[in-house]
Amino acid sequence: MEQNTEDNNNRYVLIGHISGLYGVQGWVRVHSYTEPQNNILHYMPWYLRQDSGWLERKLINGRVHGKSIVVALEGINNRDLATSWVNHEIAVHCRQLLPLGRDEYYWADLIGLQVVTEYGVVLGQVNQLLETGANDVLVVQGERERLIPFLIGLTIKQIDCTQKLMTVSWDPDF
């Protein structure tokens, strides 16, 4: 999952975006950030980002279609209306997310954490995560960008979301 979009009291978490049109009855294609991608269909309601904030939309119907996901959303019942929502982000309220087990984190909770080495050297902040197939990778932006494998117990020594701090075993010169 992607980033937090508001403060903790009114926090939305991005789960995808509308990537295109499907048919003439207002259905849209969705690019999902969830894993697996079809998990996006289990969240209701969705919130679509617009200039003035978030607009709640109910998912009327949705399915995997080939390698993509197509959905029908409440209030979007023709191609012209659907066109106006292409490239808009989809979020859910943080209260809609399932609780996680020990040493499990939503990516949204890691974005923005300050990253320090075990010796107290500040490396920067997590500004995104990458999926590489072998393991996820933190993109840490500080004086320079660092790519740090997200391996709990190996490179990742401690995560404190309350303090917004991550401690890593990483050579600051690397």
- What pLDDT, on the 0 to 100 scale, is given for residue 10? 67
Spatial separation of the C-alpha atoms in residues 154 and 168, rounded to whole Å? 8
- What pLDDT, on the 0 to 100 scale, is given for residue 6? 47
pTM of the shown model:
0.74
Secondary structure E strands in 46-155: 46-50, 53-57, 59-65, 68-73, 89-93, 114-117, 122-131, 136-141, 145-149
According to CATH, where is 2.40.30.60 located in the chain?
8-96
Q: How many residues does the chain have?
A: 174
Query: Which of these CATH numbers, 3.40.1050.10, 3.20.20.70, 2.30.30.240, 3.40.190.10, describes 107-168?
Result: 2.30.30.240
pLDDT digits (tens), the chain, 174 positions:
444 444 444 689 999 999 999 999 999 999 999 889 999 999 999 999 998 899 999 999 999 999 899 999 999 999 999 999 999 999 999 899 888 888 889 888 899 999 999 999 999 999 999 988 889 999 999 999 999 999 999 999 999 999 999 999 999 998
Query: Which of these CATH numbers, 2.30.30.90, 2.120.10.10, 2.40.30.60, 3.30.450.20, describes 8-96?
Result: 2.40.30.60
Spatial separation of the C-alpha atoms in residues 105 and 129, rounded to whole Å? 12
CB atoms < 10 A from the CB of 81, how many? 13
